[in-house]
Amino acid sequence: MSGRDLFPTSLRLLGKPVVVVGAGRVAGRRVRALLDAGAVVTVVAPEAGDDVARLAAAGLLTWVRRGYESSDLDGAWFAQTATGVPEVDARVAADAEARRVWCVNASDHETSTAWTPASARVDDVTIAVNAGGDPRRAKALKDAIVLALKTGLLPLRRHRRGPHYGPGRVALVGGGPGDPGLITVRGRQLLAEADVVVADRLGPRGLLEELGQGVRVIEVGKAPGAHTATQEEINRILVDEALAGNVVVRLKGGDPYVLGRGGEEAEFCREHGVDVEVVPGVTSAISVPAAAGIPVTHRGLATGFSVVTGHEELAELPARPDHTIVLLMGVRRLEHSVKQLRHRGLSAETPVAIVERGWTPQQRVTIGTLGGIADQAARVGVANPAVIVIGDVVRVSPFAPAHFRLTHPAALTHPAAHIL
């Protein structure tokens, strides 16, 4: 029997009498699963392993301490035989067949009237796998499905909503710098559950193409001088969709709490009685420099760094090459920022890197010095989205000119660079 003649189903055994014949290791596993399903379990065996003995001592099952008798199946809804003695198991299976009681015969799956699949639960989803009578194969497949569910590779979105489901909720998910592979496992899992995705322009856009049919995407991305929605409108969308009973994912670039107004959105949700979960993301302030081989701290070069948006905050920062400055959204005001840092005393020879569209196939790295970077950026047409790194850590980049570099790395594998 290959399993083609099986009719897959699930049994509801809550409060139903179940008989397990045998009390060894296999029986112990089956008994625990039956108890988890709410069955009233009777174990028939002259001796018991530790698992069954402990459960019996705790009063969670009835242990009949003798060999099997046909009358043990009277009134049973389900039977499991696992004595390890094929003749005894076959007798139990035959008695069950005569009484029209479903029976799993651990000694001979070919003659079982029921098969126990490899099973697991993820949230309220039950996975059960039969694999032609090969339990190790079934377990391997089950584990692979569980992993895919837990990592968001399979859709978890609910299509039927019962009264037990509860109200909608909001998740503020940091999607990282744009590469779909850099979102967290929890973020991807929430996308697999989402009814509505409220998407930013700089989030991992490729993941939107993987959303299940019927998932609504609401675009609220902000670009310089062109805002699709105000922050107040975004806040209201999140709350209204959640109050309508939806699982809402606010998919952001980077981290929702790093210059992403995630704090404002979370506060607004809580003020309106909406449950909100915050999922950190890989912030572009650190990850985009890393894409160009630049650590924001490096032993002997920099032990600290500051992240700013390229505005008034520069006046408050340490102005020395051993303290890394990371400018976000700073391209438009680059010339002003350079003047301010030079006025603060930072040398014109301080290394600077501009990383455009980090972690995408269009990534470009421009490296120069503080004294010439503004002209250089204008000459090559640097544009947002971009991250600007100022400080000696730029010397570590494999894109740095030879007279900048501290080391000489192997052949570059990064996208093209523009260097003076």
Which amino acids are annotated catalytic? 200, 222
**Amino acid identity of 392?**
D
Q: What is the largest CA-CA distance in the chain?
A: 96
**Amino acid identity of 66?**
R
* Token code pair at residue 95: 């008695």
Dist CA 69 CA 50 (whole Å): 23
Nearest to 253 by CA among 279, 282, 294: 282
**Amino acid identity of 98?**
A
* Token code pair at residue 212: 């299940």
Contact 66, 46 (CB under 8 A): yes
Dist CA 64 CA 70 (whole Å): 13
- CB-based contacts of 179, cutoff 8 Å, min separation 6: 204, 359, 360
Dist CA 79 CA 77 (whole Å): 7
- CB-based contacts of 186, cutoff 8 Å, min separation 6: 279
* Token code pair at residue 361: 């196939």
Dist CA 22 CA 356 (whole Å): 67
Contact 86, 108 (CB under 8 A): yes
Of all helices (H) and strands (E), which one includes residue 307? strand 304-308
**What number of residues does the chain have?**
420
